[in-house]
Amino acid sequence: MRTLFRNRDFARLFAGRVVTNVGDSLYFVAAMWLVYELTGNAAYSGIAGFLVLAPGALQAFAGPLVDRWNIRRLLVGTQLVQGVVIAALPVADHLGYLSVWLVLTVMPLLSLLNQLVYPAQSAALPRIVEKDELVQANSLFSLAYQGSDSVANALGGVLIAVVGATTLFVVDSVTFAAAALLFATVTIPPAEAAETSDAGEREADTLASEAGEPGEDGPASPAVTDGGEDDDSTEPGYFDDLREGLAYIRGTVLVPVVAGAAFVNFAAGGSIIAAMPAFADTFGGAGAYGFLMAAVSAGSFVGAFGASRVDDRAFGWTSILAFGLGGCFWLLGVAAAAYTGSLPATVALFALSFVPIGVSNVLLSSMVQSVVPEHLLGRVSGVLGSAASVSIPFGALFGGTLTEAAGPFVLFVAGGVGLLVLALYWTANAGLRELPAVGDIQTFSTAGAE
């Protein structure tokens, strides 16, 4: 991994990732708790979760923009705008205009901007590191996300209890400005010219770029004929690009992967996010909320750190084991909370439940980046993120409503059961179950084989 940090552009992109993730985590913890504190109603937590998570379903529409726009400018611009938007909350508080409705308005705006950030980072990574470094690079990026998330969540919960939620929004604004400065120093080469996909019956459209030199981060030039003369056809439009990303995924093993992710994101994602403030309140408030949120990120951090150690194992069975272990530890954590009331035990078991899941997430990202052609990576990443995330906001609405009616423990049991069901789903699907090691996957055929 030390070799990667000798790559100046990777090191700066990584640093920007860490800083912006810290800002995102502090903001999310502060905003979710502030909504619960202002209303005392878990149903509003569900609404807040829906609003902050719903833009994730639009990530597919960000993919074509990422593939067309200058990635460095995109990263810098989104950070600056987010910094300005988040600063509105402490200003409103100072002027006496802070309300739950203002918080609920700001939350989806910030989330919408983030739908451009993560596909852009995903598309940039294969351009600045070698293919055989992708698993390690993704492990480090996941470490940056989960590590900063775990520290910021715990710190955020403590700071909320000491100085209040709105103080954290001032810190957030500064972190976004710092991230913008770091991203501004990264040089991202243009994507390689489009190439024909090896995925069996599916053939990618040819996009030649021989007619001229693309600028840094710029899109490929319009297609030309074999003779070098300009073709009469125009450059593909936005919706053509979007359809191409969808066409690449259709009929591949990525479809059942996303279907399973959408299910568990509803049961153990959005629902839990909505129920977490009320669940934490049974332990004493904002401090407990921060530590419980940190447990999720800390477990994923450890899993991401160890992902490169198992990248030579069969991805299918590794994921099955990951989801099964995750569900078991999750249910043990719920039992510890219900029968012992011990916050340390609950935090530890929740953290353990996300260690294997962190491994699987890193390997999945590396698999996609290794196989998908660079010129399609932004679109495919966006479509996958959108499809997997579309169920999360509805899970948040459902979770908030059910928590208000039946209490948070029902939701947490359902989350653990959801992970076990996902393990059974992968076991029953031959295409998923038989996926080989990430480095051995050459296509996304429905058989899951090379």
pLDDT digits (tens, 9 = 90+) for 263-309: 888 877 778 878 888 888 888 777 788 788 778 777 877 887 777 78
| One-letter amino acid of 265 | N
**Alpha-carbon separation of residue 58 from 108, 161, 314, 390 (angstroms):** 12, 34, 32, 8
Distance of CA 15 to the CA centre of its chain: 17
pLDDT of 199 above 50: no
Q: What is the pLDDT of residue 146?
A: 61
| Residue 238 burial (C-beta neighbours within 10 Å; 0-12, 13-18, 19+) | exposed
- Could you list the beta-strand ranges (E) of 190-302: none
pLDDT of 348 above 90: yes
How far apart (Å, rounded) are the C-alpha atoms in residues 243 and 131? 26
Q: What is the pLDDT of residue 238?
A: 60
> Phi/psi at 224 (nearest 5 deg)?
-125, 160
Strand partners, 230: 224
Q: Between 1.10.3470.10, 1.20.1250.20, 2.60.120.10, 1.20.1370.10, what CATH number should domain 2-188+246-440 receive?
A: 1.20.1250.20
Place of tokens 């400065």: 181
CB 197 within 8 A of CB 373: yes
106-111: average pLDDT:
84
Q: What is the pLDDT of residue 361?
A: 79
Q: Closest by alpha carbon to 359, among 204, 208, 139, 207?
A: 139
176-183: average pLDDT:
90
- Which 3 state secondary structure label does DSSP give 209? coil
How far apart (Å, rounded) are the C-alpha atoms in residues 12 and 435? 34
pLDDT bin (cut points 50, 70, 90) of residue 143 is low
Q: Closest by alpha carbon to 175, among 150, 148, 207, 201?
A: 148
Q: Which of 171-180, 310-319, 441-450 is predicted least confidently?
A: 441-450
Q: Closest by alpha carbon to 290, among 389, 392, 168, 419?
A: 168
Distance of CA 83 to the CA centre of its chain: 20
**Alpha-carbon separation of residue 286 from 28, 36, 324, 334 (angstroms):** 13, 10, 30, 19
Please, which residues have CB within 8 angstroms of residue 436's CB and are 6 or more apart in sequence? Answer: 314, 315, 316, 448, 449, 450
Q: What is the pLDDT of residue 330?
A: 93
Q: Closest by alpha carbon to 120, among 366, 381, 358, 364?
A: 381
How far apart (Å, rounded) are the C-alpha atoms in residues 252 and 269? 25
Residues 397-443: tens digit of each pLDDT: 888 888 888 888 888 898 899 999 999 999 999 888 988 887 777 66
**Exposure b/e, 411-446, CB count within 10 A at least 16 = b:** bbebbbebbbbbbebbbebebbbebbbbbebebbbb
225-237: average pLDDT:
45
How far apart (Å, rounded) are the C-alpha atoms in residues 172 and 164? 14
> Phi/psi at 407 (nearest 5 deg)?
95, 160
Q: What is the pLDDT of residue 201?
A: 38
Whole-number percent of the chain with pLDDT over 70: 82
DSSP code, position 233: S
Handedness of CA 125, 130, 135, 137 (dihedral sign): negative
State the chain's mean pLDDT as an integer. Answer: 77
Place of tokens 């600056």: 80
How far apart (Å, rounded) are the C-alpha atoms in residues 71 and 77? 10
pLDDT bin (cut points 50, 70, 90) of residue 29 is confident
Quick count: other Cβ atoms within 10 Å of Cβ 405? 10
**Alpha-carbon separation of residue 98 from 31, 92, 95 (angstroms):** 12, 5, 8
pLDDT bin (cut points 50, 70, 90) of residue 445 is low
341-347: average pLDDT:
91
Handedness of CA 58, 61, 66, 72 (dihedral sign): negative
| One-letter amino acid of 440 | D
pLDDT bin (cut points 50, 70, 90) of residue 57 is low
| One-letter amino acid of 363 | L
Quick count: other Cβ atoms within 10 Å of Cβ 234? 9
Q: What is the pLDDT of residue 212?
A: 40
